Amino acid sequence: MLAVSVIFSFRDAKGKESSTKIRVPSTFSFAQYREFAAAGAQVLANMSTAELYDVSVAVGLDLSGASLRTLATQFADVFQKALIVVRSSVAGLFSRINIPTFDDANTVDGSDVLDILDPDVQALITLLEDGLDDGGLLILPVDARGNDLDEVSQAVEKFRKS
């Protein structure tokens, strides 16, 4: 089972940011991780002169039993990305999602625009706008502030740093 990472983010007087990660076993509840993160934040804040402005918990998932692609294709390139911009339910806010090694087959011929008629692109847009119904539990994606995502406003192919 993969360890859980608790990531503590700091900002210095010049506005520069850095983070540190403490891994903990994957056997605890989310409430227990929250407690660890809050207590750890206080301990680290006491040892630092920087602003500790964020703590996040990253839970790894073992996908070995899933029927996903297990090897990269010959033309996979992490610098070739799909950029999806999704408006938030709060006016003026949005979320950007970059998908590395985007498949050109999902773009409109002769352009860098994602083909919204392509079933794979439609599935992604539906996931982002409408969420996922997991056996009666609706899981809706949100922006960084926790606001529901509302509508995909841009879907293009970009070449970016990984």
Per-residue pLDDT of the chain (162 residues; tens, 9 = 90+): 578 999 999 999 999 999 999 999 888 889 999 999 999 999 999 999 999 999 999 988 878 788 876 677 777 877 788 899 999 999 999 999 988 877 888 899 999 999 999 999 999 999 999 999 878 888 889 988 889 999 999 999 887 665
CB contact at 8 A, 13 and 65: no
Examine residue 32 and state whether it is found in any structural domain, yes or no.
yes
Q: pTM surpassing 0.75? A: no
Instruction: List, in sequence order, the alpha helices (H) in 23-153.
Output: 30-47, 119-130
Examine residue 69 and state whether it is found in any structural domain, yes or no.
no
- Indicate the number of domains in the chain: 2
Q: Which domain holds residue 88?
A: 80-159
Q: Are strands 132-134 and 80-88 parallel, antiparallel or unpaired?
A: unpaired
**What integer pLDDT is reported at residue 2 of this predicted model?**
72
Q: How far apart are CA 105 and CA 43, in angstroms?
A: 50
Examine residue 13 and state whether it is found in any structural domain, yes or no.
yes
CA distances from 15 to 12, 52, 112, 132 (A): 5, 12, 35, 37
CB contact at 8 A, 141 and 131: yes
**What integer pLDDT is reported at residue 146 of this predicted model?**
86
Instruction: List, in sequence order, the alpha helices (H) in 48-153.
Output: 119-130
Examine residue 29 and state whether it is found in any structural domain, yes or no.
yes
Q: Does residue 100 sit in the same domain as residue 39?
A: no
